[in-house]
A and B are shown apart, each in its own frame.
Chain A
Amino acid sequence: MNALLEVKNLKTHFFTRQGVVKSVDGSSFSIQKGEILGIVGESGAGKSITAFSILGLIDPPGRIVDGEILFDGKNLVGLSEEEFRQIRGNEISMIFQDPQTSLNPVITIGEQMMEAILYHHKGVSKKEAYNSCVEILKTVGLPAAQKRMKSYPHQLSGGMKQRVVIAMALLNNPKLLIADEPTTALDVTIQAQILYLMKKLSQEFHSALILITHDIAVVSQLCDKIAVMYAGRIVEYGKKEDIIFNPLHPYTKGLIECLPKLNDEKKRLYQIPGIMPSLLGLPSGCYFKDRCELADEQCDIYPEKQEIDGRILFCHKVK
């Protein structure tokens, strides 16, 4: 079966005054129709830049310097802005972290949503557009959908706004949905609702979903596949069960270990020492070696790609 999206050796670099920032440096992953892929990593690891690269949203001084992004067999790298506009919001939709900034504060919810439909489908009448907007607001569980069409964003709570954003992303029945930290700004209770909704809707709409987050617990509840990113590179990539219950890379292990657990009796939490190196001052060799308990002189060379039972791994210490 052909993958819906296949990213091959993607390199997105930023040419700044201080030097070349290799925000994404050789990422490869793929996603099938109906699949959910989680990309996990700390802020600055290159998760969002990966998403922006797929959507053609990289502005100077950034540039995709190498790699291919095959969407439905078509390479998105190098498409014109005009061609991307036909894809964005139509075939690929994105949900941003802050619902506040992704909605226009001075236009009603209804008008914003209808415009999104009318832009991509010239033949649709206003009435039809209105009806499908109300329909989709009901689907995302927004109470009093018709009344909400006339509301302005500031009249809604954070959770309701994120529902509207999700509804807008689903309007044109996209093949791929990219959600960048969709629940980070929300309360835990609302987060559970939104996550459940995203899982349910991606199944209903047969869309593939890429979930970007720093919280591996969130990813574990939702995703089929997981890619762990560190300092611009994927360090471990594979099926959810493998990554969560049998992590091999020391960084993945650390991420899982340091989660607070409800049934834990220990006083102190496990912590990964140190911080992720700045992308301008990456160490030679494995980027994680300064924080890794297993590191030795072997790690002074960046590890080769390994494939273990269908999982991709970059580490000298795991065979």
Chain B
Amino acid sequence: MPQSEVKLLEVKNVQKVFSVKVGTFEKRDLHALNGVNFDIYKGKTLSLVGESGCGKTTVGKVILGLYQATKGEVIFRDKDIAKLSPSARGDIQKDIQMIFQDPYSSLNPRKKIKTILEQPLKIHTNMSKRERKEAILSLCDDVGIDYSYLERYPHQFSGGQRQRIAIARAMMLRPELILADEPISALDVSIQAQILNLMMDLQEKYNSTMLFITHDISVVKHISDYIAVMYLGEIVEYASKKELFANPKHPYTKMLFSTVPDIHTPLATESVLKTGEIQSPIDLPKGCFSQNRCLYKEDSCMQTHPELNDLGDGHLARCPLIGKF
């Protein structure tokens, strides 16, 4: 990975195991994260791409403190926060904020927009009432919401407007790191573009760092600097945006690209049915995790679990057969 940049956050071999009920009495381990490693660089955007069930949201929630990691470290400002709850993190927590996927549930339906935006300031700053009001108004300008919205309740707004409000709330404390968990996937396509542009504008204005989590690889093109592709709780490919879009190496990444709907490509053919579905993280396969969805698998793939190999120029991929198919 490139050396020239300043690390803001390091995720080191993070593992997360949930205990889930199967049947009435039996409990099994669900391996949501199986040793995830990545760094987030100051002022840059890392996109975490993968299907639902791959653990990408779990990573976000570990960084935010809603989940505590089972093993591993998350280093932020020289402190390991992987096992600390948000209230145990103290002052550090105000520098990590999250934009949630569903703007319909992330805003408390019983609170006025004003109250929602004021809340982070009340908890983490000593601002006076007037200072808080000024801070709110200036952010309203930034995210493009009208001052008159402040006296209304969330249900009076459309999905796009709500997501703007949620973004304003996340930006309220000028956090260093913004975690965006599928911030546009619940929105209409025509609104998605507006929200993506807004997020890029804000990032530029406040020079903030972002972890952008999504299942749709087509939307990360504009917003990312680096991209990590996740599958079953581990990273299978990592590269700079330019490199990954020009030169995807891992079979799984290639599959992700091939299934993106695009007006210039015809609908996928019969082969798309062979791509299957993500496996349950309760019974992890022996060998390569993505073996049953891979068009190029060999016998060796079912025996040994591949390591993340450096292919040069900071391009990493978890497949020993790259170049051979």
The answer to whether any beta carbons of A and B sit under 8 Å apart in the complex is: yes
**With A159-B277, A222-B267, A262-B262 as given contacts, are A42 and B200 in contact (CB-CB < 8 Å)?**
no
Determine if A188 and B161 form an interchain contact, defined as CB atoms under 8 angstroms apart: no
Q: How many residues of A contact B (CB 8 A)?
A: 47
Cα(A273)–Cα(B193), bound, Å: 10
Choose from A187, A192, A260, A275 the contact partner of B218 (Cβ within 8 Å).
A260
List B100-125 residues whose CB lies under 8 Å from chain A.
none
* A160 at interface, CB cutoff 8 A: yes
Whether, in the assembled complex, A100 has its beta carbon less than 8 Å from a beta carbon of chain B, the answer is no
> Of B189, B260, B261, which contacts A258 at CB under 8 A?
B189
> In the assembly, what is the distance between CA of A217 and CA of B268, in Å?
13
Judge if B272 is at the interface, Cβ distance under 8 Å.
Answer: yes
Q: Say whether A189 faces chain B, with CB atoms less than 8 Å apart.
A: yes
Q: Is A188 in contact with B215, judged by CB distance below 8 angstroms?
A: yes
A189 touches B256 (CB 8 A): yes
Q: Is B222 engaged at the interface, CB distance under 8 Å to the other chain?
A: yes
Q: What chain A residues lie within 8 Å of B255 (beta carbons)?
A: 189
Interface check B294, CB cutoff 8 A: no
Residues of A within 8 A of B258 (CB): 192
Indicate if the CB atoms of B191 and A42 lie closer than 8 Å: yes
B282–chain A nearest beta-carbon distance, Å: 13
Cross-chain contact A270 with B193 (CB below 8 angstroms): yes
Q: Are B268 and A188 in contact (CB under 8 A)?
A: no
A197 in contact (CB, < 8 A) = yes
What's the nearest-Cβ distance from chain B to residue A225, in Å?
Answer: 15
Interface flags, A136-164, vs B, CB<8A=1, else 0: 00000100000000000000011110000
A220 CB–B CB distance under 8 Å: yes
Let me know if B266 is at the binding interface, CB within 8 A.
Answer: yes
In whole angstroms, what is the CA distance A264 to B222 when docked?
A: 8
Cβ contacts A243-277/B at 8 Å (1 or 0 each): 01000000000111011111010111111110110
* 3 nearest A-B residue pairs (beta carbon): A192-B259, A258-B193, A217-B261
Given A197-B273, A255-B190, A269-B196, CB of A275 within 8 Å of CB of B51: no
Contact across chains for A259 and B277 when beta carbons are under 8 A apart: no
Nearest A residue to B263, CB-CB: A220
A130 to B273, CA, bound (A): 25
In the bound complex, residues from chain B placing their C-beta under 8 Å from that of A256 are 263
Set B189, B215, B260: member contacting A214, Cβ < 8 A:
B189
Not counting A192-B259, A262-B221, A275-B160, a sample of 5 additional A-B residue pairs whose C-beta atoms are within 8 angstroms of each other reads A192-B261, A260-B196, A264-B221, A269-B196, A271-B190
Is A292 in the interface zone, CB < 8 Å from B? no
The CA of A154 and the CA of B210, in the complex, are separated in Å by 35
Which one, A193, A216, A262, A271, contacts B193 given CB within 8 A? Answer: A271
A116 interface residue (CB < 8 Å to B): no
Contact indicator B194/A271 (Cβ below 8 Å): yes
Query: Which residues in window 11-56 of A have CB below 8 A to B?
Result: 42-44
A269 touches B189 (CB 8 A): no
Q: Does A218 contact B (CB under 8 A)?
A: yes
Within 8 A of A (CB), among B146-193: 158-161, 188-193
Chain B residues lying within 8 Å of A205, measured Cβ to Cβ, are none
Asked whether, in the complex, the Cβ of B197 is within 8 Å of the Cβ of A271, the reply is yes
Tell whether, in the assembled complex, residue B189 and residue A267 are in contact, meaning their CB atoms are under 8 Å apart: no
Shortest distance in angstroms between A37's beta carbon and chain B's nearest beta carbon?
16
Q: Which residues of B contact A44 (CB under 8 A)?
A: 158
CA distance A157 to B281 in the complex (A): 13
